A and B are shown apart, each in its own frame.
Chain A
Amino acid sequence: MSARVTVALRVNGRAYERVVESRRLLVDFLRHELQLHGTHVGCEQGVCGACTVLLDGEPVKSCLMLAPQAHGHSITTVEGLAGRGELHAVQQAFRDAHALQCGYCTPGFLLAAVALADHGVALEGAALREELAGNLCRCTGYQNIVEAIERYLRQAAGGRRDG
């Protein structure tokens, strides 16, 4: 029996290959094998969303996914958002709206927001909060988080119309 597997995937556009124990969770793979510490570990049971990353563009909870399940896929983590010295639009929106306090939940919210924008979703208010149900903020700064994401989604939708 082999409890080790080869995991080859792309993270933020870069190819990686590691041989790991099959029980390795994707979040631990990112943090411990690839030293990408931007993806946070909160509840470890699929509730808080701190560990949210994009898998082929879809938001997933990396604490619920085994590393071998991600084999062959493309992952985006918070480290993949900012360009050279420039914040990603969603990061800028968070900064402008003062949408982070301790910042622990922020990477998860950022990626959840990017997934919404990429799907052309431009929600506000209650409907947006419903879409963000999988992300919790322990500092409870939801008002500003929702405002930042509303701004970002409006901007992303505007960009699509203009472009």
Chain B
Amino acid sequence: MILRPFEYVESQTVDDAVAALRGGGDDARVIAGGTALVPLMKHAVLRPARLVSIARVPGLADIAPATSGGLRIGGVATHWAVSHATLVRERSPLLAYACARVASPTVRSMGTLGGNLCYGESASDPAPALLALRATVRLHGPGGARTVPITEFFTGFYETALQEAEVLTSLDVPAMPAGARWRYLKWTPRAQEDKALVGLAAMLVLDGHRCRVARLAVGGVGASPVVLARAEQALEGQELDEATIARAADAAAGEVEPMDDLQGSAEYRRDMLRVWVRRVVAGLAEGRAS
């Protein structure tokens, strides 16, 4: 498969990248790992005239502790790096685990966390984890730097809040509360490396049997990854008995707008989401963490 010709610009700084993106207009694209972009170019879904690489910008792959106890993860850190970093495993095991579930090892060592999010795919594995963790996205564009809560980052089918000539520079990930129970459930009806039909991230903090904090988010079901806000509300402040958990599962199934495609019908997705919310929350309530 031969690609159409394009210009390849290696950026030394984020400002370089922004300038090169502006100069290229609609025909310019950021390339980080290329695992999503290159196949789209091969199939001529995208035909960029200019690729602006941010892979070598110093510091952009760093994973660093934040003073708040959380993490700052550079946009071009690979899934492999995120899932193996001791810092991430300690402070945000949910994110480390979700990154370890992306596609196959070869794709994990090429693809980047920022690229994964900017692609805007619903069935992203890290996206639900970052939504559950209420991370913040840092962007840099012609107007300077800005932040967007990840809960506002995914705006539609393969659409994000990323504006023209903007680059995702890093993510701020709050630390998981002490004693938090978590799980990322990737439901793929066929093979392991498939995309999630239901990618459910869950984090609970319990006081005895009472749920103090509930964070649930899902990818693969609707047009974009989303927080399951009503399901969270149905759990918080409640004793986690069977009836409460069933109510939360119903709330989750009711608040999504599932896609209908060859992987599964909308009803199948809705039903599987209900099933997995119930099983995952019940498992966490019983102490079967992660």
Give A residues with C-beta under 8 Å from B: 1-3, 5, 21-23, 25, 44-46, 49, 52, 55, 58-61, 64-66, 68-69, 71-72, 112, 115, 130-131, 133-134
B106 touches A5 (CB 8 A): no
* A-B interface, 8 closest residue pairs, ranked by CB to CB distance from nearest: A134-B104, A22-B8, A58-B109, A23-B3, A133-B193, A3-B5, A134-B106, A1-B7
B157 part of interface (Cβ distance < 8 Å):
no
B192 touches A52 (CB 8 A): no
A46 → chain B closest CB, angstroms:
6
The CA-CA distance from A60 to B106 in the complex, in Å, is 5
Chain A residues with CB under 8 Å of B105's CB are: 59, 112, 115, 131, 133-134
Chain A residues with CB under 8 Å of B192's CB are: 130, 133
A23 touches B6 (CB 8 A): yes
Partner of A64, one of B2, B7, B34: B34
Given A22-B51, A45-B39, residue A69 in contact with residue B34 (CB < 8 A) = yes
* 17 more CB-based (< 8 A) A-B contacts, given A46-B107, A66-B34: A3-B5, A5-B8, A22-B5, A22-B6, A22-B51, A45-B1, A46-B106, A52-B106, A60-B106, A61-B107, A64-B34, A65-B38, A68-B10, A68-B53, A69-B34, A133-B192, A133-B193
> Beta-carbon contacts of B34-54 to A below 8 Å, as 1s and 0s?
110011001000000111010
B274 → chain A closest CB, angstroms:
27
Partner of B106, one of A61, A66, A69: A61
B201 part of interface (Cβ distance < 8 Å):
no
Chain B residues with CB under 8 Å of A71's CB are: 10
Chain B residues with CB under 8 Å of A60's CB are: 106, 109-110
Across the interface, name the chain A residue whose C-beta is closest to B193: A133
Given A60-B110, A134-B105, residue A46 in contact with residue B8 (CB < 8 A) = no
Across the interface, name the chain B residue whose C-beta is closest to A129: B192
Tell me the chain B residues, 116-153 only, with Cβ under 8 Å from chain A: none
Tell me the chain B residues, 51-109 only, with Cβ under 8 Å from chain A: 51, 53, 55-56, 80, 103-107, 109
B5 touches A64 (CB 8 A): no
B163 → chain A closest CB, angstroms:
24
Given A46-B35, A69-B53, residue A59 in contact with residue B106 (CB < 8 A) = yes
Give B residues with C-beta under 8 Å from A: 1-8, 10, 31, 34-35, 38-39, 42, 49-51, 53, 55-56, 80, 103-107, 109-110, 191-193
The CA-CA distance from A131 to B100 in the complex, in Å, is 11
The CA-CA distance from A101 to B53 in the complex, in Å, is 40
B17 → chain A closest CB, angstroms:
15
Chain B residues with CB under 8 Å of A3's CB are: 5-8
Given A65-B34, A68-B10, residue A134 in contact with residue B39 (CB < 8 A) = no
Given A46-B107, A133-B191, A134-B193, residue A64 in contact with residue B10 (CB < 8 A) = no
B8 touches A49 (CB 8 A): no
Given A45-B42, A46-B35, A134-B105, residue A65 in contact with residue B6 (CB < 8 A) = no
A134 touches B34 (CB 8 A): no
Chain A residues with CB under 8 Å of B10's CB are: 68, 71
The CA-CA distance from A133 to B106 in the complex, in Å, is 9
Chain B residues with CB under 8 Å of A5's CB are: 8
Identify 30 residue pairs between A and B in the complex whose beta-carbon atoms are under 8 Å apart, listed by A's number: A1-B49, A3-B5, A3-B8, A21-B5, A22-B6, A22-B51, A23-B5, A25-B38, A44-B1, A45-B39, A46-B38, A46-B106, A49-B106, A52-B106, A55-B110, A58-B109, A59-B106, A60-B106, A60-B109, A64-B107, A64-B110, A66-B34, A68-B8, A68-B53, A71-B10, A112-B106, A130-B192, A131-B105, A134-B107, A134-B193
B97 → chain A closest CB, angstroms:
14
Partner of A69, one of B6, B31, B103, B191: B31
The CA-CA distance from A156 to B132 in the complex, in Å, is 39
Chain A residues with CB under 8 Å of B3's CB are: 23, 25
The CA-CA distance from A55 to B33 in the complex, in Å, is 12
